[in-house]
C-alpha cells in the first residue's frame, strides 16, 4: 500500500485494488474513491470504520465519477 499526504488534512491511499482519498474534516472523516469488487470491499471498509467508532462518510465512484455506493455515520 502507498500512502501519500496531499495536504494538511488529506491523504491519498492506493494499492492493487483501491484508490482512495481520506479527508479529515472537523466533525467527520470522508473516504472517497474507487475500489475493485465494490459490492464486497465496500462492506469490508464500512465494517472497519464502524469498528473504530468514528464519524465518517464513504463515497465510491465508478469510472465516470458517478457515486455508486455511499454511507454516512455522523
Q: For residue range 18-64, what is the model confidence (pLDDT) as tens digits?
A: 999 999 999 999 999 999 998 899 999 999 999 999 999 999 998 89
pLDDT at 39: 87
**pTM for the complete prediction?**
0.84
pLDDT at 21: 96
Cα 61 to Cα 21, 33, 65: the distances in Å are 12, 6, 5
Q: What is the C-alpha separation between 20 and 15, in angstroms, rounded?
A: 9
The per-residue b/e assignment along 7-25, b for 16 or more CB within 10 angstroms, e otherwise, is: eeeeeeeeeeebebebeee
Q: What is the C-alpha separation between 35 and 19, in angstroms, rounded?
A: 6
Binned at pLDDT 50, 70 and 90, residue 13 comes out as: very high
Amino acid at each position: 500500500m502507498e500512502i501519500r499526504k496531499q495536504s494538511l488534512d488529506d491523504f491519498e491511499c492506493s494499492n492493487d485494488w483501491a484508490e482512495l482519498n481520506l479527508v479529515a474534516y472537523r466533525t467527520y472523516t470522508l473516504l472517497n474513491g474507487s475500489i475493485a469488487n465494490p459490492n464486497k470491499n465496500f462492506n469490508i471498509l464500512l465494517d472497519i470504520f464502524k469498528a473504530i467508532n468514528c464519524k465518517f462518510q464513504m463515497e465510491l465512484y465508478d469510472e465516470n465519477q458517478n457515486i455508486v455506493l455511499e454511507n454516512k455515520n455522523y
